[in-house]
Amino acid sequence: MNITSKLCILLLAFLLFPALVQAQTPLPQDAESLTLEQCVAFALKNRAEVEQALLDEAIGEREIKAELAGWFPQVSAGYTGVRNIKLQQQPFGDQVVTLGQKYTSSVQLQGNQVLYSSELLLASKAARFTRQQLDQQVAFTKINTVVAVSKAFYDVLLTQEQLRILEVNLERQLKQYNDARSRYEVGLVDKTDYQRAAITLGNIRSDLKRAQEAMNAKIAYLKQLMGYPIEADLDLAYDYDQMQEVVLIDTTQLVEFTDRIELQLLQTQLALLELNTAYRKWSFLPTISAYGNYNWLYFNNEFAELYSQSYPTSNVGLQVAFPIFQGTRRYQNLKVAQLREARLEIEIGNTLKEINTEYQTALANYKSDYVAWLTLQQNLELAQEVYDIIQLQYNEGVKAYVDLVVAETELRTTQLNYYNALYNVLESKLDLQRALGNIDINP
C-alpha cells in the first residue's frame, strides 16, 4: 500500500469518526455512578419499547394525515393510445360509412373535490381521539419503564449489599478459622472448632460466588431495560439512608380510577367506537363531490401525424352517490358496531374491578412488607449485639466455638433478610404507586 492510499484511508476515517461517535447511544454526564433518577431518565429516552412507542405515535400521526388528505383536491392525469384495426361502419341510406380513424389518442387531466363524505367526516372526528390514544400508549410504556427500571435498580443494589455482607463475613470467618487452627495446633482446643470454621468458610465462599454471578445477570437486565450500551460499565450510586427514608407512602390515599392509564385507554377506545357507530348510522347519506375534466383528443389515419392537431373537450359537474340498497350490509355493520361498544363497556367495568383488586393487594403487601422491614431492623440490632457479646465471651474462653458459629450465622442471615425486606418494601411501594396512578414519567 503506497503513501497516497494510506493518507486517503486516514482522511476517510477522520471524516467518518465524528458520525460514528454521534451514532452511539449518549451516556449521562456522570456515567461512572448513576442514581436511580439518572437511570430512569436514560431509560425513558433509550429503552427500545419507549423508542418503538414514540415511532408508533409518529406512524399514527402520518396515518391520520393520510386519511384526512381526502378532503384536499385530488388531481389525476391519464393517457391512452389506440390502434383501431377494424373501424366501425354505419349504414346511412344506401351507403356504408366508416367511422373513426386508425389511430386515436387522448390525454386527460381530471380534478375532484369531495364536498361531503361520511367516511372522511368520521376520520376528521376520530383524529383527536386517535392522537389521544397514541399519547396514552406512550405514557403507558413510560410508566412500565419507570417501574421496571426502578425495581431492577433496587435489585442490583440489594445484590451489591449482599456481596458486601458476604465479603465482610468471609474476612471475619477467615480470621476465626486461622485463630481456631492456631488454638488447635497449640493444644488449647480440639480440631472440631477449625473444622466447623472451614465448613462455614466454604459456605460463605459458595454464597459469595453465587451472588457475584447473579450480579452480572442483574446488571445485564438493568442495561437491557435502560437501553444502556452493552460494552459500557454501569455503576450505581445510592444512599442507603436515603433509601430507608423513601420507603414511606401515605396509605390513606384512595384510588382514583380516572388516574389509571389503562382505564384512560379504554375510555378513548370507547369514544372511537361510538364515533364508528355514528358513522354506520350516517352511511345512508350520499357522497357529494365536484369534478372537472379537460381532455386532449387526437385522431389520424397516419401515426406520424397523430399529434399534429388536437380536439380538446372539457366539462365540470357535481356528482352525488346514494347508497340505496346494500343487501342489509349497512344494518349488519351498525349492529356489529353497537355490539363492540357493549363488549367494551363490559371490559371497562371489569377493569374497574381489577384496578380495585390491584390497589387492595398492593396496599396489603406494602403494609405487611413495611412491618416486616421494621421488625428486621430491630432484629438486626439485636443480632449484632448478641454476636458481639458471644464473640467477646468466646475470646475469653467462656463460650464454645459452636455458640460463636450460631451467632455469626444468625447475624449474617438477619443482615441478608433485612436488605431483602428493604427491597420488598420498596418494590411494594412502587406497586402501590402504580395502583394509585401516581407514577411520575417526567423525572
Q: How far apart are CA 102 and CA 301, in angstroms?
A: 5
> The C-alpha cell of 142 is what?
413510560
| Within a domain: 46 | no
| Within a domain: 193 | no
- What own/partner pairs with CB < 8 Å and gap ≥ 24 does 100-104 have? 100/299, 101/299, 101/300, 101/301, 102/300, 102/301, 102/302, 102/303, 103/298, 103/299, 103/300, 103/301, 103/302, 103/303, 103/306, 104/80, 104/297, 104/298, 104/299
Bridge-partner residues for 91, per DSSP? 96
| Within a domain: 409 | yes
270 in Cβ contact with 351 (< 8 Å): no
Q: How far apart are CA 440 and CA 41, in angstroms?
A: 11
| Within a domain: 27 | no
| Within a domain: 207 | no
| Within a domain: 51 | no
Domain of 127, CATH number, reads: 1.20.1600.10
Write the single-letter amino acid at 62.
R
pLDDT tens, per residue, the chain with 443 residues: 444 444 444 444 444 444 433 344 556 554 568 899 999 999 999 999 999 999 999 999 999 999 999 999 999 999 999 999 888 888 888 888 888 889 999 999 999 999 999 889 999 999 999 999 999 999 999 999 999 999 999 999 999 988 988 888 888 888 877 877 777 777 766 677 778 878 888 888 898 899 899 999 999 999 999 999 999 988 888 877 777 778 889 889 998 999 999 999 999 999 999 999 988 888 788 899 999 999 999 999 888 889 989 999 999 999 998 888 877 888 898 999 999 999 999 999 999 999 999 999 999 999 999 999 999 999 999 999 998 999 888 888 788 878 888 888 899 889 999 999 999 999 999 999 999 999 988 86
Total number of domains in the chain: 1
| Within a domain: 105 | no
Which segments of 102-117 does DSSP mark as H helices, in order? none
| Within a domain: 267 | yes
The whole domain housing 132 covers 117-154+216-286+327-438
